[in-house]
Amino acid sequence: MRVEPFGVDSYIHVVKRGARGLPITRDDLDRQRFVRLLYYLNDGHRSDFWEEGIRKKELFERPKSWPQRQPLVRILAWTLMDNHFHLLLKEIQEGGVSRFMQSLCGSMSRHFNEKYEEQGSIFQGAYRSRTIETDRYLRWVVPYILVKNVFELFPGGYAEALRNFDHAWTWATRYEFSALKDFVAHMQKPTSLTCGFLPCHSPILDLDVLDGYFKSSQHLKEQSRDMIFGRQGINIEEVTFE
């Protein structure tokens, strides 16, 4: 794993928060649009009218007139919360993370302002990031992004999720606006699995990059439990920098 501060082949944990802690999405249509942005804006090809080009297309279908897709980053994990989002990225083009984040956040702000007749950026300053320099960090940041954050949305709150971990895990694997369901589907390789709005194997993620870190969905579940409850010498503060 590359350990330089930032550059091609670096692994980066990114957090972007809403201004003054306010929501960055207000309904499921906003959240579904965020998911599309993760795919369509992760591309060296950009048109100001890209949304018009996909309006009558299937989910993640690219118009034949577009050039071959050239991803700026590899997206390894993501979770969308009410007022922020987490991404785990691998930079594969010089400046790819910056370009991708600029496109993603700019598009979100413009859409939000047009839809809700507001002004200004919906985000709180620049995105925050941490370069991942060890396998240990990478192993723990995945359950942090995918499980700990989704548990915060569990009915009854985070404390209730911890008291009912197994039930909360099942609930989290069905949450549509996180990549946890993709991880579970990738490792189980089921013949059929319902994932709601998204297919269970969406083209957003490059899950093969993390093969070997988690042997099965049960292994990921136990790693998540260890991270959340501070087992195996892990301190959740190690992967928190917000």
* Three-class HEC string of 72-140: CEEEEEEEECCCEEEEEEEECCCCHHHHHHHHHHHHHHHHHHHHHCCCCCCECCCCEEEEECCHHHHHH
When mean pLDDT is compared over 104-113, 186-195, 205-214, the highest value belongs to 104-113
Amino acid residing at 122: I
pLDDT band at 190 (very low <50, low <70, confident <90, very high): low
Report which of 198, 186, 183 is spatially closest to residue 39, judged by C-alpha positions: 198
pLDDT band at 191 (very low <50, low <70, confident <90, very high): very low
Any idea where the domains of the chain sit in the sequence? 11-129, 134-239
**pLDDT per position as a tens digit, 73-100:** 999 999 999 999 999 999 999 999 999 9
- In the chain, pLDDT over 90 holds for what percent of residues? 69
Between 55 and 169, residue with greater pLDDT: 169
CA distances from 104 to 30, 33, 96, 195, 209 (A): 13, 11, 12, 24, 23
CATH number of the domain located at residue range(s) 11-129 in this protein: 3.30.70.1290
Q: Residue 2: its pLDDT value, please?
A: 46
Indicate the pTM of the whole model: 0.92
Rounded CA separation 104/40 (Å): 9
pLDDT band at 187 (very low <50, low <70, confident <90, very high): confident
Q: Residue 241: its pLDDT value, please?
A: 67
Question: Mean pLDDT score of the chain, rounded to an integer?
Answer: 90
CA distances from 62 to 65, 131, 225 (A): 8, 31, 39
pLDDT at 4 over 50: no
The 8-class DSSP code of residue 25 comes to -
pLDDT at 121 over 70: yes
Rounded CA separation 82/23 (Å): 5
Rounded CA separation 154/161 (Å): 6
pLDDT at 128 over 80: yes
- Average pLDDT, stretch 25-35? 96
**pLDDT per position as a tens digit, 132-158:** 989 989 999 999 999 999 999 999 999
pLDDT band at 1 (very low <50, low <70, confident <90, very high): very low
pLDDT band at 192 (very low <50, low <70, confident <90, very high): very low
Q: Residue 49: its pLDDT value, please?
A: 83
3-class state of residue 67 by DSSP: coil
- In the chain, pLDDT over 70 holds for what percent of residues? 92
